């Protein structure tokens, strides 16, 4: 009985590794190389599916169901669609992304057709396509059960990796870029990290997406991930020592990848050398031209306004202004000067006065200059 | 005043109300064998005055309306071909008269103006190969619109100099215009009669030569003219920039003759400074060429003449 129970338990355990079914028409085998593994430890999943009954023509559609629990990378696939002897051989690399008990599920459709239908399908061409008529039967495949163990705390990389660092120089001029390459190479879960160095006040970090190269093999995927970055600064700075915690599931041992600290010496440069003396943009100054324009408009407007007012103020003065001849007449002290003044006016009102003056000056009559001036002033008023 | 002149004036006053200055100017022109340029707007009795004067003196008068398409032959005449006897005959133009009203002279182009002004100076006309002397008296009263009006050809300074006087005719006073209005409406203007003959006019011209003008006044006239050319010499520095060209020697002659005629019209036997002053603006205003600065400042030649008379001491 003990023997029987042990045998039964062995059979149940084996079911976890190998899920196989022997149906009437076909046989299949889905096998995971491990049932128990660490988080992000790759397992190899192989699928074999073979037609056993040649009566019908069978076609298979198989795929591993996508899930957030796994990262699945197809490694190998071979489909043999020979009528009546169809076979399918596929292998996958599966990385569990969660711990605990997980089910890896599958989808499979059996498509049943006949020779006649195949011939009909084959008789078509590009211009006269003929559909292959099949009878599709979904097949329920049992999941592969996996037990995923957690990683040691702070583990960043899972697999067997080694690291190389290449620094262009440890001495540079201010603001000159210092290139740095960090390569992580090995087999395991893709060693892609978001950032190795964080931003700092001491330097400016220029980084780009890592360059990933991979080589898929039956035993897994070889990765080569290169982080290219550059630093610039205007004074000396130090990149601190960087330690990446990794875990090798094969040896079940944690290990570290270390980037040693780097000290960089920055030579100060004359800042003027950094400025393009020929094509430098003009020095930024505040543009106050709008205020200047506004003030000039106000000034012109005010000048025009005041000119108009000035004309208004001046007008009464012009009206009130005394005839300039009055002043000239008053200033006359000699009869000849008065005559000279009057004849120049071309004014008939002075005809009598001119006649009197000429009679006195060139004739024998007499006259009083003061009285004459008074008469003229009365005429002017 | 000379009775003949007085009679003539009274006769003219039958149809001409006011405009004494224009009548006096025309009489001075007639007495001195000068020509008169009249500037003023239309409707100020210019044609009426010429017609009245010609009738009162028994002279012939004609009127030419100057237009841009007028030709010299239109005014001086031309040779006309006669197809009957295959010969050319001379057709005299309207210039062959005693009193000629050249209306709006500045509307005609320069060649027509030149033709007229040449005749005014020479007092003879040559048509083809034949020269005709014009009868005396020959007086041209040319009118021109103010220079600001459009479509006018300004008379050149050299041609303006041939006019003895330039009169600026203004509108009549209100009282005079009321009288004109009434007489024109009632057609009650009296007919002009001939009161003087050509012989009387020649007699008056001879009498004019007897008017005495003192040597000092002669020098005064020359000084007045010289002051337009050399204002600085007579203390007229402020007008130096205003004058481009002063008056010509022809101005001295015309001022001399016009002063004597003015004194004659007043009935005087000698010329006094006031007679010179009475005509100096008329004689000089078109002969002083103003600078651009003076024109831009609104200074006219009358102001400069007034300043000269005011500045120069009378003898």
Q: What is the ipTM of this complex?
A: 0.78
Q: Which two tokens stand for residue A122?
A: 């084959």
Q: What are the tens digits of pLDDT across the range B29-55?
A: 988 989 999 888 777 888 788 888 888
CA B146 to CA B152: how far, in whole Å? 9
Q: What region, left, alpha or beta, does residue B151 occupy, with left being phi > 0 and alpha being psi -120 to 50 degrees?
A: left
Q: Which residues are bridge partners to B152 per DSSP?
A: none
Quick one: A67 and A103 in the same domain?
yes
Q: Note whether A221 and A187 are within 8 A (CB).
A: yes
Q: Is B313 on the interface with A (CB under 8 A)?
A: yes
Quick one: A39 and A173 in the same domain?
no
Q: How many CB atoms lie within 10 A of CB A309?
A: 10
Report the domain count for chain B.
Answer: 2
Q: Note whether A152 and A32 are within 8 A (CB).
A: no
Q: Which two tokens stand for residue A141?
A: 């495949």
Given B184, B218, B245, which residue is the final one in a domain?
B184
The shares of helix, strand and coil residues in chain B, as percent rounded to the nearest 5, are: 50, 15, 35
Residue of higher predicted confidence among B270 and A323: B270
- Is B5 part of any domain? no
Quick one: A132 and A185 in the same domain?
no
- Of residues B274, B306, B310, nearest to A354 (C-beta): B274
CA A203 to CA A172: how far, in whole Å? 13
Given A121, A149, A177, which residue is the final one in a domain?
A149
Q: pTM of the full predicted structure? A: 0.54
Given A274, A304, A334, which residue is the final one in a domain?
A274
Predicted pLDDT at B268: 86
The percent of residues above 70 in pLDDT, for chain B, comes to 97
Report the domain count for chain A.
Answer: 3
CATH code of the domain covering residue A267: 2.60.40
Quick one: A143 and A172 in the same domain?
no
Q: Note whether A134 and A61 are within 8 A (CB).
A: no
- Residue of chain A whose Cα is closest to the Cα of B268: A355
Quick one: B156 and B298 in the same domain?
no
Helix ranges (H only) for chain A are 2-17, 115-122, 289-320, 324-331, 335-343, 351-362, 369-380
Quick one: A142 and A89 in the same domain?
yes
Quick one: A358 and A376 in the same domain?
yes
CA A352 to CA A355: how far, in whole Å? 5
- Is A66 part of any domain? yes
Crossing angle of the two packed helices B20-32 and B249-265, in degrees rounded to 10:
110
- Is B12 part of any domain? no
Please give the residue range of the domain that contains residue B176: 19-184
- Is A299 part of any domain? no
- Is B203 part of any domain? no
The answer to whether residue A359 scores a pLDDT higher than 80 is: yes
Q: Is B310 on the interface with A (CB under 8 A)?
A: yes
* Neighbour order of strands in the sheet with A106-113: A57-64, A106-113, A135-139
| B chain contacts of residue A365, beta-carbon cutoff 8 Å | none
If you compute the radius of gyration of chain A from its CA atoms, what whole number of angstroms results? 56
- Is A335 part of any domain? yes
CATH code of the domain covering residue A100: 2.60.40.1230
- DSSP-derived 3-state class of residue B119: helix
Quick one: B176 and B283 in the same domain?
no
- Of residues B281, B306, B314, nearest to A336 (C-beta): B314
Quick one: A199 and A174 in the same domain?
yes
- Residue of chain B whose Cα is closest to the Cα of A350: B274
Q: How many CB atoms lie within 10 A of CB A9?
A: 10
**Which of B104, B110, B95 is closest to B39 using CA atoms?**
B104
Quick one: B167 and B24 in the same domain?
yes
Q: What are the tens digits of pLDDT across the range A6-35?
A: 444 444 444 444 444 445 688 889 999 888
Q: Is B273 on the interface with A (CB under 8 A)?
A: yes
| B chain contacts of residue A344, beta-carbon cutoff 8 Å | 277, 306-307, 309-310
Quick one: B179 and B232 in the same domain?
no
- Of residues A343, A354, A355, nearest to B309 (C-beta): A343
- Is A91 part of any domain? yes
CATH code of the domain covering residue B179: 3.40.50.300
Given A274, A301, A335, which residue is the final one in a domain?
A274
Quick one: B175 and B233 in the same domain?
no
Backbone angles phi, psi at B248, to 5 degrees: -90, 170
- Is B82 part of any domain? yes
**Which of A257, A255, A256, A254 is closest to A38 using CA atoms?**
A254
The mean of the pLDDT values for chain A is 84
DSSP string, A190-242: ----S-SS---SSSEEEE-PPEEEEEEETTEEEEEEEEEEEEE-SS-EEEPPE
C-alpha neighbours within 13 Å on the C-beta side of residue A306: 6
CA A40 to CA A151: how far, in whole Å? 9
Angle value at C-alpha A28, between A26 and A32, nearest 5 degrees? 175
Quick one: B224 and B285 in the same domain?
yes
- Is A295 part of any domain? no
The Cα of B274 is separated from the nearest Cα of chain A by a number of Å equal to 6
- Is A284 part of any domain? no
**Which of A353, A282, A336 is closest to B273 using CA atoms?**
A336
CATH code of the domain covering residue B262: 1.10.8.80
CA A150 to CA A5: how far, in whole Å? 32
Taking only residues 131 to 170 of chain A, the set having a beta carbon closer than 8 angstroms to any beta carbon of chain B reads none
- Is A44 part of any domain? yes
Predicted pLDDT at B260: 93
Query: Which residues make Cβ contacts (< 8 Å) with residue B43, sequence separation at least 6?
Result: none
The answer to whether residue A52 scores a pLDDT higher than 60 is: yes
Q: Is B168 on the interface with A (CB under 8 A)?
A: no
- Residue of chain A whose Cα is closest to the Cα of B309: A344
CA B67 to CA B72: how far, in whole Å? 12
The answer to whether residue B147 scores a pLDDT higher than 70 is: no
Query: A362 and B313 in contact by Cβ < 8 A?
Result: no
Quick one: A167 and A244 in the same domain?
yes
Q: Note whether B255 and B282 are within 8 A (CB).
A: no
Quick one: B144 and B217 in the same domain?
no
CA A179 to CA A194: how far, in whole Å? 18
Quick one: B51 and B143 in the same domain?
yes
Please give the residue range of the domain that contains residue A193: 157-274
CA A158 to CA B189: how far, in whole Å? 137
Q: What are the tens digits of pLDDT across the range A194-204?
A: 778 888 899 99
Q: Report residue A317's pLDDT band, with 50, 70 and 90 as the boundaries.
A: low
Q: Which residues are bridge partners to A253 per DSSP?
A: A248
Quick one: B65 and B169 in the same domain?
yes
The answer to whether residue A164 scores a pLDDT higher than 90 is: yes
Quick one: A139 and A163 in the same domain?
no
Quick one: A183 and A206 in the same domain?
yes
Predicted pLDDT at A316: 60
Quick one: A183 and A129 in the same domain?
no
Predicted pLDDT at A20: 45
Quick one: B166 and B226 in the same domain?
no
Taking only residues 321 to 350 of chain A, the set having a beta carbon closer than 8 angstroms to any beta carbon of chain B reads 328, 336-337, 339-341, 343-346
- Is B195 part of any domain? no
Quick one: B171 and B218 in the same domain?
no
| B chain contacts of residue A353, beta-carbon cutoff 8 Å | none
Predicted pLDDT at A294: 95
CA B275 to CA A380: how far, in whole Å? 22
Q: Note whether B165 and B25 are within 8 A (CB).
A: yes
- Is A180 part of any domain? yes
Q: Note whether A174 and A268 are within 8 A (CB).
A: yes
CA A295 to CA A291: how far, in whole Å? 6
Quick one: A119 and A163 in the same domain?
no
Q: What are the tens digits of pLDDT across the range B65-75?
A: 988 898 988 88
Testing the interface with B: which of A337, A346, A358, A364 to mutate, by most B Cβ within 10 A? A346
The mean pLDDT of B252-260, rounded to a whole number, is: 93
- DSSP-derived 3-state class of residue A254: strand
The mean pLDDT of B96-113, rounded to a whole number, is: 87
Quick one: B61 and B170 in the same domain?
yes
């Amino acid at each position: 009985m003990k023997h029987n129970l042990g045998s039964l338990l062995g059979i149940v355990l084996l079911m976890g590794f190998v899920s196989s079914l022997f149906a009437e028409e076909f046989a299949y085998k889905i096998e995971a190389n491990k049932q128990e593994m660490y988080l992000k430890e790759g397992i190899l999943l192989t699928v074999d599916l073979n037609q056993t009954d040649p009566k019908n023509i069978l076609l298979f559609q198989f795929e591993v169901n996508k899930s957030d629990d796994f990262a699945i990378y197809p490694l190998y696939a071979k489909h043999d669609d020979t009528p009546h002897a169809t076979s399918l051989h596929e292998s996958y690399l599966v990385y569990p992304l969660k711990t605990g008990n997980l089910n890896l599920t599958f989808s499979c459709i059996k498509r049943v057709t006949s020779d006649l239908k195949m011939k009909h399908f084959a008789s078509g061409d590009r211009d006269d396509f003929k559909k292959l008529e099949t009878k599709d039967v979904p097949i329920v495949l049992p999941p592969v059960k996996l037990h995923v163990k957690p990683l040691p705390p702070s583990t960043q990389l899972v697999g067997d990796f080694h690291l190389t660092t290449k620094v262009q120089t440890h001495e540079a001029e201010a603001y000159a870029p210092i290139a740095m390459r960090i390569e992580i190479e090995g087999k395991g879960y893709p060693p892609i990290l978001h950032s190795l160095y964080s931003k700092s006040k001491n330097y400016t970090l220029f980084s780009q997406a890592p360059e990933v190269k991979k080589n898929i093999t039956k035993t897994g995927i070889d990765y080569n991930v290169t982080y290219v970055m550059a630093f610039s600064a205007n004074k000396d700075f130090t990149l601190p020592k960087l330690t990446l915690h990794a875990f090798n599931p094969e040896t079940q041992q944690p290990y570290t990848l270390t980037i040693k600290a780097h000290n960089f010496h920055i030579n100060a440069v004359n800042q003027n050398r950094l400025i393009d003396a020929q094509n430098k943009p003009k020095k930024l100054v505040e543009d106050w031209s709008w205020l200047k324009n506004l003030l000039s408009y106000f000034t012109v407007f005010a000048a025009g306004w005041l000119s108009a007012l000035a004309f208004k103020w001046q007008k009464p003065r012009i009206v009130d202004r005394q005839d300039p001849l009055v002043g000239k007449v008053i200033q006359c002290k000699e009869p000849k000067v008065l005559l000279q003044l009057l004849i120049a006016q071309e004014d008939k009102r002075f005809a009598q006065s001119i006649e009197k003056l000429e009679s006195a000056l060139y004739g024998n009559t007499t006259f009083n200059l003061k009285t004459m001036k008074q008469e003229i002033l009365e005429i002017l008023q | 005043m000379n009775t003949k002149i007085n009679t003539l004036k009274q006769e003219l006053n039958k149809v001409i109300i006011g405009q004494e200055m224009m009548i006096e100017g025309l009489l001075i022109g007639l007495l001195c064998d000068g020509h008169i340029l009249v500037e003023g707007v239309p409707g100020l009795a210019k044609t009426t005055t010429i017609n009245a004067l010609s009738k009162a003196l028994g002279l012939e008068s004609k009127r030419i309306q100057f237009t841009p398409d007028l030709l010299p032959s239109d005014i001086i005449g031309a040779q006309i071909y006669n197809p009957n006897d295959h010969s050319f005959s001379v057709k005299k133009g309207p210039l062959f008269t005693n009193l000629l009203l050249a209306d709006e002279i500045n509307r005609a182009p320069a060649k027509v103006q030149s033709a007229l002004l040449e005749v005014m100076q020479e007092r003879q006309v040559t048509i083809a190969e034949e020269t005709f002397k014009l009868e005396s008296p020959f007086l041209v009263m040319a009118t021109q619109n103010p220079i600001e009006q459009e479509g006018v050809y300004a008379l050149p300074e050299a041609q303006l100099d041939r006019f003895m006087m330039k009169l600026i005719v203004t509108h009549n006073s209100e009282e005079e215009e009321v009288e004109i209005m009434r007489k024109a409406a009632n057609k009650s203007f009296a007919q002009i009669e001939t009161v003087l003959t050509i012989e009387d006019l020649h007699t008056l011209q001879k009498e004019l030569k007897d008017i005495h003008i003192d040597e000092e006044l002669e020098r005064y006239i020359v000084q007045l003219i010289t002051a337009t050319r050399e204002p600085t010499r007579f203390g007229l520095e402020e007008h130096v920039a205003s004058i481009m060209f002063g008056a010509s020697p022809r101005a001295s002659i015309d001022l001399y003759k016009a002063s004597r005629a003015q004194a004659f019209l007043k009935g005087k036997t000698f010329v006094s400074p006031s007679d010179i002053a009475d005509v100096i603006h008329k004689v000089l205003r078109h002969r002083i060429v103003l600078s651009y600065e003076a024109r831009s400042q609104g200074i006219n030649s009358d102001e400069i003449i007034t300043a000269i008379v005011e500045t120069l001491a009378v003898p």
